[in-house]
Amino acid sequence: MSPQVLCLFGSLVLFFGCSQEGSTADPPVEPDTTAQTVDASPAEPATKKQTAPAIPGAQTFEQDGITAQIANWEQLQEFIGSQDDKIVIVDLWSSWCEPCLREFPHLVALQKKYPEKVVCVSFNLNYDGSKTYPPESSREELMEFYTKQDAEIVNLISSTPDEDLYKKLDLASIPAAYVYGTDGKLQKRFDNETLAYGQQGFTYEEHIVPFIDEMLQQVQKPTE
């Protein structure tokens, strides 16, 4: 049975996140739906609840106006390329990763802050390749979590086993966040594989949101 991504042990991992180690697959862990929510102070007028943009051909789930889709990394890249003149941020997370759950509300708040200029994507890595627990086996738990978080963002459930994706991205731990510019090119990857962001690791409030704000300022500057 393929390795499952597990949270590292010790105080370092308690703050940083979760990395990949060998283990047998367990049933999907129900996310803590009591995770905090963050009030966003919209920089733009609030919009009505809308269904997140669909990825063509992706299996889609819907609950109370919130959608989620099963997709692979390649489908995600095609979606990013179609988001003309928008900044896209992809958050890699899992329901058993405490640091991921802690930061998730800030991802949602970022989308509400910039509904017309930023596209926020949550890319869930619960799937470990097990035939017993395919990607859709997390549907009930994740949809409940998305709904309680009012996650009006692009919610994707990875159809690629986490081990394969970790190798593909040369990634050692989550949470991780990828920021793409308006041209669809990767601008920055946030992760906690070094001490670059201190003992607590990166956060949206201290690191990602300021980076996005700076990118938007550059985009809005008039050309001379």
Query: Cα(183)–Cα(168) distance, rounded to whole angstroms?
Result: 22
The CA-CA-CA angle for residues 33, 35, 39, to 5°, reads: 120
The pLDDT value recorded for residue 66 is 95
Give the residue extent of every domain in the chain: 4-25+52-220
Say whether pTM exceeds 0.75. Answer: yes
The pLDDT value recorded for residue 169 is 95
The pLDDT value recorded for residue 118 is 97
The DSSP element (H or E) to which 99 belongs, if any, is helix 98-113
Tens place of pLDDT per residue across the chain (224 aa): 444 434 433 334 434 467 655 333 444 445 454 455 455 445 544 444 545 457 888 999 999 999 999 999 999 999 999 998 999 999 999 999 999 999 999 999 999 999 999 999 999 999 999 999 999 999 999 999 999 999 999 999 999 999 999 999 999 889 999 999 999 999 999 998 877 787 788 999 999 999 999 999 987 766 55
CATH number of 4-25+52-220: 3.40.30.10
Q: Name every residue whose Cβ is closer than 8 Å to that of residue 71 and which is 6 or more positions away in sequence.
A: 55, 58, 79, 156, 157, 158, 159
